[in-house]
Amino acid sequence: MLSKEEIKWAKKYWTSTNYLSAAAIYLKDNFLLERKLRPEDIKDSLLGHWGTCPGINFIYTHLNLIAFKNKQSILLITGPGHGFASILANQFIEGSIRRYYPEMTHDKAGIGNLIKSFCWPGGFPSHINPGVSGCIHEGGELGYALGKAFGAAFDNPDLITAVIVGDGECETGSTATAWHSNKFLNPEKDGAVLPIVHLNGFKINNPSIYSTMSESELNSLFVGYGYNPRFVSANHEDMGKAMNWAYLEIKKIQEKARKGMLKENPKWPVLIVKTLKGWTGVKEFMKEKIEGSFRSHQVPLKEAKTNIKELKALEEWLNSYQPDKLFPDGKIDEETLKFVPEGDLRIGINPHANGGNMLKDLNLPDSKEFEVKFKKIGTTFAGSMMILGKYLRKLIELNKENNFRIMSPDELVSNKLSEVLNVTGRAYDWKTSKEETRDSKLSKDGKVMEMLSEHTLQAWLEGYILTGRHGLFPSYEAFLPIVDSMVSQYLKFLETMHDAPWRMPVASLNYIVSSVCWRQDHNGFSHQNPGFVSNLLNKAKEEKYVRIYFPADSNMLLVTMNDVLRSRNRVNAIVSDKQLIRQWQSYEEAVAQFNVGAGIWEFASDKNPDVILVGCGDYQTQEMLAAIKLLKQMTPDIKLRFVNVNELNVLGREGFYPNALSDSKFKELFTEDKHVIFSFHGYPATVKQLLFDRPNTLRFHVHGYTERGTTTTPFDLLIRNGVSRYDIAIRAIKHAEKTNSRVASKAKVAIAKLESKITEHREFILKNGKDPEEINDWIW
């Protein structure tokens, strides 16, 4: 139960934040209403979302009490990130914002600076962002706050992550799956998550689903999820009791678990806080209800600058908070700060929110230890994912301090990375049968996290990385586009971090893109989608946030992985299939090429070539080399150069794309005027956009996946998409015959033979159900 002193403080603190939040949306002058409000005091562009602000302030007030009274580290994640005016208000009062914005002083000038800065050019935007401390979630895209909160709590035993989940946000599929994160949280070694559902009744224009459900129905829902729910009414005494209850429940679960006495599944608390939308704001205007309705969602009284009636209503609303008493002499009253935590216990400056400060380098294995050695080029087969699995096993063995996890949607074994399960298990906390635990290698301490929700995994990983740890996301190529929007938002977060020099670099977010579209061993057309890298490439720019890799074999994959795990503030995607494939480069050759991003493979190249052949991708490289051998047999006078591209970005314009080839290096690889036949792993348009600003790019003929597929043989997929060795050879001959008369003399016969091979192949697979031996048993 709160004391009278605590209740009095809570009311004053909350009212102060409500005033600052409302004033920030509207005012550019007369910040404490020391005179009558005039049209010129109102901002010309009114932005922000008032409706959720009072509820956020209400919750923040009582989190402060818990942090102050228990000296508890609390990281706050706000799902309704559009209520940023309230976060600014709280960070201003607690003083955390002043560490990086010294003009935000606790006096009249500082109050004015704060209020004017919201949605003002050169100030703060409308959503929570990395420009303020305490933030690891922007919140503009609903659905991911809950999952990110759990990601922050994993391996953070002393941290409580409080997460405000809007009732509109609860309608998203990503939030629905994230509720199951409680089954992965280990109270013995992880921190805790306190979900707070902000039930204020409305979305933009109509009621939220949760608001139409009875308390009994909502209770059943959360009990079914495995939580211990408690409903909270809109008064400080009830909220204080509920928050204290939730804190004690968390500590009780953790204490029992850490003493080895927790025998049942933990029932973590969840608070369901019912408030009015736009609480304490304008009750009604022109006979239309505002407070407690959807009309308070964004900016009520949006014509206050030009409509005298609205201006008067706004003045009455702001004066209802009595700013002269809240801020005597234009200052923050000492009474308002009485129960605000100090130092790093201030919620708005929680150290975990600036994860780069917490980051420790991984102890990386020597990747050369796993090198695939061979005597003859292209005759040794190896599975890149199996080799990588051995590397990751060693990585886990070398890093016992719980700062690395693998998040995978139930695809680790399928992607042939199961070697890691010999040294760690799959994280899972809830009780299972001994047989399930043994057979599935479930473990409370597991570093592998598998769940059939890419959205939740992405949110976990973002929360984990942004609080100072490292991670890896292996997945089927076809399913990673599910998180396209999330990774786009994450990249926006990184870009905004770049503008805040006090934000320390965090570990990169790393994807392993496997089970690729060119090998449909168990699946069909639905599993063919190489579009994830296309979306990423649109985000690549000079700040070097995005790097996309296509290692042609295992040694290049090892070299690539060692680099991306060292990198910071990037999103890295490595596209590499899981099946056995031929090996081309020694480890040292891979290192040399990796540092450039592309290279001429001399063993498959002539001087003064007629045509340049380029492969980007493991199967594309193999098929290009098969075409070269075929061409040398059928038209021995043809002169060819083979270029392998292992990093996609290098093709783009120098000075814009990260790690782009210099103009001179681009010319060295591709010449100035020769025709270039480019076989790409993904959609041809992806490469074309990179080449657009390079000189004379009409000579580049890019081919790749063109949405022609089904469950068929591997070589048939190449034929269907026009990138088989036969298709490549036909194109090469047609280009070469224009300048090489010896090739021209044999062109007609060679092309006819190659075309017949395509026809014969179709007939062969229909009869035999497999590719012919000349394809499967081909060697360089």
Per residue in 92-117, pLDDT (tens digit) is 999 999 999 999 999 999 999 999 99
Band (pLDDT 50/70/90 cuts) for residue 526 is confident
**What is the reported pLDDT for 185?**
98
Instruction: Look at residues 553, 582, 611 and tell me which one is the last residue of a structural domain.
Output: 582
Asked, for residue 357, whether it belongs to a domain, the answer is no
Asked, for residue 609, whether it belongs to a domain, the answer is yes
Q: If you average pLDDT over every residue of the chain, what do you get?
A: 95
Closest among 673, 649, 752, 769 to 715, alpha carbons compared: 769
Q: Which amino acid would we find at residue 290? A: I
The b/e string for 592-604 (b: 16+ C-beta within 10 A; e otherwise) is ebbeebbbbbeeb
Average pLDDT of the residues in 702-727: 93
User: Same domain for 333 and 404?
Assistant: no
Lowest-confidence segment of 230-234, 615-619, 654-658 by average pLDDT: 654-658
**pLDDT per residue as tens digits for the range 269-315:** 999 999 999 999 999 999 999 999 999 999 999 999 999 999 999 99
Q: How many CB atoms lie within 10 A of CB 371?
A: 18
* CA 479 – CA 458 distance, rounded (Å): 12
User: Same domain for 386 and 523?
Assistant: yes
**pLDDT per residue as tens digits for the range 74-92:** 999 999 888 999 999 999 9
Q: What six digits make up the tokens of 595?
A: 């540092």
Average pLDDT of the residues in 533-561: 91
**What is the reported pLDDT for 623?**
97
pLDDT at 680 over 70: yes
Q: Are strands 381-383 and 580-582 parallel, antiparallel or unpaired?
A: antiparallel
Q: How many CB atoms lie within 10 A of CB 35?
A: 9
Instruction: Look at residues 329, 344, 359 and tell me which one is the last residue of a structural domain.
Output: 344
Largest CA distance in the chain: 100
pLDDT at 395 over 70: yes
User: Same domain for 242 and 97?
Assistant: yes
Band (pLDDT 50/70/90 cuts) for residue 542 is low
* CA 684 – CA 696 distance, rounded (Å): 18
* CA 712 – CA 140 distance, rounded (Å): 43
pLDDT at 522 over 90: no
User: Same domain for 155 and 66?
Assistant: yes
Q: Which residues, 6 or more positions from 650, have their beta carbon under 8 angstroms from its beta carbon?
A: 596, 597, 598, 657, 659, 660, 661
Asked, for residue 361, whether it belongs to a domain, the answer is no
User: Same domain for 535 and 620?
Assistant: no
Average pLDDT of the residues in 379-395: 96
Chain centroid offset of residue 702 CA: 30
Asked, for residue 174, whether it belongs to a domain, the answer is yes
pLDDT at 544 over 80: no
Band (pLDDT 50/70/90 cuts) for residue 581 is very high
Contact 195, 226 (CB under 8 A): no
Band (pLDDT 50/70/90 cuts) for residue 527 is confident
Per the rule left: phi > 0, alpha: psi between -120 and 50, beta: everything else, 134 is left
pTM: 0.96
**What is the reported pLDDT for 96?**
96
Closest among 87, 352, 358, 63 to 195, alpha carbons compared: 63
The parent domain of residue 310 ranges over: 4-344
User: Same domain for 559 and 640?
Assistant: no
Asked, for residue 330, whether it belongs to a domain, the answer is yes
Average pLDDT of the residues in 483-501: 93
**pLDDT per residue as tens digits for the range 426-450:** 999 999 998 888 989 999 999 999 9
Contact 202, 211 (CB under 8 A): yes
* DSSP classification of residue 207: B
User: Same domain for 403 and 522?
Assistant: yes
User: Same domain for 146 and 254?
Assistant: yes
Asked, for residue 588, whether it belongs to a domain, the answer is no
Read off the CATH number of the domain in which 186 is found.
3.40.50.970
User: Same domain for 639 and 570?
Assistant: no
pLDDT at 520 over 80: no
**pLDDT per residue as tens digits for the range 622-668:** 999 999 999 999 999 999 999 999 999 999 998 888 889 999 999 99
User: Same domain for 375 and 305?
Assistant: no
Dihedral over alpha carbons 645, 648, 651, 655 (to 10 degrees): -140
Reported as half-sphere exposure (CB side, CA atoms, 13 A), residue 135 has a value of 30
* pLDDT above 90 as % of the chain: 92
* CA 243 – CA 105 distance, rounded (Å): 30
Number of domains in the chain: 3
User: Same domain for 225 and 304?
Assistant: yes
Per the rule left: phi > 0, alpha: psi between -120 and 50, beta: everything else, 654 is beta
| Selected residue with higher pLDDT from 538 and 603 | 603
Average pLDDT of the residues in 54-79: 98
* pLDDT above 70 as % of the chain: 99
**What is the reported pLDDT for 543?**
66
**What is the reported pLDDT for 657?**
86
Instruction: Look at residues 311, 344, 377 and tell me which one is the last residue of a structural domain.
Output: 344
**What is the reported pLDDT for 513?**
96
**What is the reported pLDDT for 398?**
97
User: Same domain for 466 and 566?
Assistant: yes
Asked, for residue 351, whether it belongs to a domain, the answer is no
Q: What is the DSSP string of 453-504?
A: -HHHHHHHHHHHHHTT-EEEEEEETTTGGGGHHHHHHHHHHHHHHHT-TTSP
* CA 225 – CA 229 distance, rounded (Å): 10
Read off the CATH number of the domain in which 736 is found.
3.40.50.920
How many helices (H) and strands (E) the chain has is answered by 24, 22
* List of long-range contacts for 2-9, beta carbons under 8 Å, 24+ apart: 2/65, 2/236, 2/237, 2/240, 2/241, 5/338, 6/65, 6/240, 6/339, 7/236, 7/237, 7/240, 9/335, 9/336, 9/338, 9/339
Asked, for residue 82, whether it belongs to a domain, the answer is yes
Q: Which residues, 6 or more positions from 483, have their beta carbon under 8 angstroms from its beta carbon?
A: 454, 455, 458
